[in-house]
Structure 1
Amino acid sequence: MPSADARTNQSHDTPAVRSPTAYLFHGETGHLSTIQIYLQSIHGFKVKDVQDMLSSSALYSTQKVFSRIVGKSVRTIQRQGAAKQPVQLSPQQSAVAFQYAKVLEHAIAVFGSQKSAEDWLGKPCKYLEGGVPLDLIDNPLGFQAVEDYLERIELGIYQ
């Protein structure tokens, strides 16, 4: 938990430093089982929560990750927003949003800082056949490959 100093100068609506998945679940996910996470994603995450999670990351903000999650261009999203489209993501979009949040959170834990994690996520990786981790996350198999490699790095068994 951040110190009182870290929370100073933050408004009531702006939370102290939060983990990426905490934006989606309004709290820490450490106590949630995989099935509980699944069930919450089936109901769909709120668009605002996903946008807040993405805006907490310089990399995610600049790489149009929201468009990757929803599978639409920013312009299409803006047009639909004006037409009062649902404010929640579909179950599939929510699953992809969770993958992005989970990988960022895991990478921060592995590399020790958000900046280092984002640097790693945004560069080609030899272990991933030259793929950029950020570009693999929206596919379930790519997500698993990135997560597996992060686990290997944690254990010190990587090349």
Structure 2
Amino acid sequence: MSLFKVMHNYNQLMVYLIWPFKNKLKMDNFPTSPNAAEHFAECKQLFVLAVLVFIICLVLHFIFKKQRKKALLDLNKSAALILLLLPIVVFPFAVSNFDSFFVIFHHILFNNNDWLFDPNTDPIINVLTEGFFASCFAVAGIIYELYFAEKLLRK
């Protein structure tokens, strides 16, 4: 399958996950089993929740900023340092054995095994590999660390 087709299907998946009014997952070139559809529906709930929290925090940030009061998340150095170091404690485990970390992550967030995809019925798993998710975790971790490092350095 061409990179263009893979990206087209990936974009269809991401629109489904992020857009709250899109109720059915349809990827043009990847069939989706009922278990995978259920897993993606559960992921969608997490994505929509994250987007809502982001929007609420953004609105509150501008309200606080307009009133020239303290920032919404005005951390002291100790709190910023703790929040900065917390992922660093998890990082060695996640890097040394990402497969186990990924399994534990799924057991914490999901109450079923629908996330265990069969490549024969859900070929999207051949694109959304362990390496893909490891990269996503790494990017999220770097953004998180940079945010709290900036808070710590600004104090």
- TM-score of Structure 1 vs Structure 2, range by shorter chain: under 0.3
**TM-score of the superposed pair, with normalisation by structure 1:** 0.24
RCO greater where, 1 or 2, for CA within 8 Å and sep 6 or more?
A: 2
**TM-score of the superposed pair, with normalisation by structure 2:** 0.24
**Which structure features the higher share of helix residues?**
2
